[in-house]
Amino acid sequence: MPRSPPRKLNPLRPPPPEATGTPARRRQAAATGSGRSVEASTEGVLGGYGCVNDVDVKGSDAFLRPLLAERFGTAKRHLVALDCGSGIGRVTKNFLLRHFNEVDLVEPVSHFLEAARENLTECMEVGEDTHKAANFYCIPLQDFTPEEGRYDVIWIQWCIGQLPDDDFISFFNRAKIGLKPNGFFVLKENIARNGFVLDKEDNSITRSDAYFKELFKKCGLYIHSIKDQSDLPKELFAVKMYALVAEKPKIRKNGKRRRPKNSPRMIRS
Ligand SMILES: C[S@@+](CC[C@H](N)C(=O)[O-])C[C@H]1O[C@@H](n2cnc3c(N)ncnc32)[C@H](O)[C@@H]1O
């Protein structure tokens, strides 16, 4: 008997009936118009699975922390991130602001972004530093180009399924210019078991790991590291985190990747 696909965290509904025009415009209408029916809350943006917020944040934290130390060192430095498809600012508020001095948000659904603005009015104090949400861009990723060299990390979570392959590839190609030296992307996304799963209700695509890897190649991106998100409810899609870099990792003669200068290591006596 065919098994129904696992459920996913995605609240988007079909495009409104008046949506017309090119497929790209229809997709944008789906992204911007349809979100109106979704409550601007954690439950809303997580499709009724607000309960996964804590494990999600914990998993993201465990993935990102060592990467930041490895790529940027442990000395104090002003770090800036971009939260793509930010929704109401859940990821920024619960996680990114703990690590970054400034976070910009990009989100096409205006009432989500307004909620994010309200949720993120206060600066967060981390030690002696101030961490704050800086810029709010109301625009879909397929139309967004980041400011050159602004970001240490571009975080893309649970929204890339709204972009078909051609938009996916052109978004990452444009977004590379937004990275600082040693900067990287993190893509955190639902994973199909094989091939892909199309959802006609919300016009989204859930891709398999192999599919993503093919797309990364087409974007000229290299996988620095991958981790599975653990402890999600069984009925949901598996979720993976990919750290992606634009420069080819240097390989040593022994076949291992060269360790970046700043990476943590054992002190030998
Ligand atoms: C499942 S929610 C996830 C929100 C947030 N990343 C989080 O994890 O809490 C998906 C988000 O992607 C946004 N989205 C939909 N289409 C998009 C597009 N074309 N570009 C950027 N974001 C999009 C939705 O409006 C929604 O806020």
- How sure is the predictor about 267, in pLDDT bands with cuts at 50, 70 and 90? low
Q: What is the predicted pLDDT for the residue at 111?
A: 96
Closest CA to 71 of 267, 268, 257: 257
Domains, in order of start, for the chain? 52-245 (3.40.50.150)
- Half-sphere exposure (CA, 13 Å, Cβ side) for 62? 13
108/89 Cα distance (integer angstroms): 13
pLDDT in tens, 153-188: 999 999 999 999 999 999 999 999 999 999 999 999
Q: In the predicted model, what is the mean pLDDT of residues 60-85?
A: 96
Task: Indicate if the pLDDT at residue 57 is higher than 90.
Answer: yes
- Which of 128-142, 197-211, 255-269 comes out lowest in average pLDDT? 255-269
Q: What is the ipTM of this complex?
A: 0.99
Q: Read out DSSP for 1-63?
A: -PPPPPB-S--PPPPPTT--SSHHHHHHHHHHHHGGGS-SSHHHHTTT-GGGHHHHHHHHHHH
CB 184 less than 6 A from any atom of ligand 1:
no
Average of per-residue pLDDT values in the chain: 86
CB 91 less than 6 A from any atom of ligand 1:
yes
Kindly give the distance from the C-alpha atom of residue 202 to the centroid of ligand 1, in angstroms, as a whole number: 12
Kindly give the distance from the C-alpha atom of residue 39 to the centroid of ligand 1, in angstroms, as a whole number: 13
CB 232 less than 6 A from any atom of ligand 1:
no
pLDDT in tens, 11-52: 333 333 322 233 333 333 333 344 667 899 999 999 999 999
DSSP state of 163: S
Q: What is the predicted pLDDT for the residue at 11?
A: 39
Residue with CA closest to ligand 1 atom 22: 85
State the closest ligand 1 atom to the C-alpha of 56, by its place in the atom list counted from 1. 8
CB 34 less than 6 A from any atom of ligand 1:
no
Q: What is the predicted pLDDT for the residue at 16?
A: 33
CB 31 less than 6 A from any atom of ligand 1:
yes
- How sure is the predictor about 257, in pLDDT bands with cuts at 50, 70 and 90? low
pLDDT in tens, 101-152: 999 999 999 999 999 999 999 888 888 888 999 999 999 999 999 999 999 9
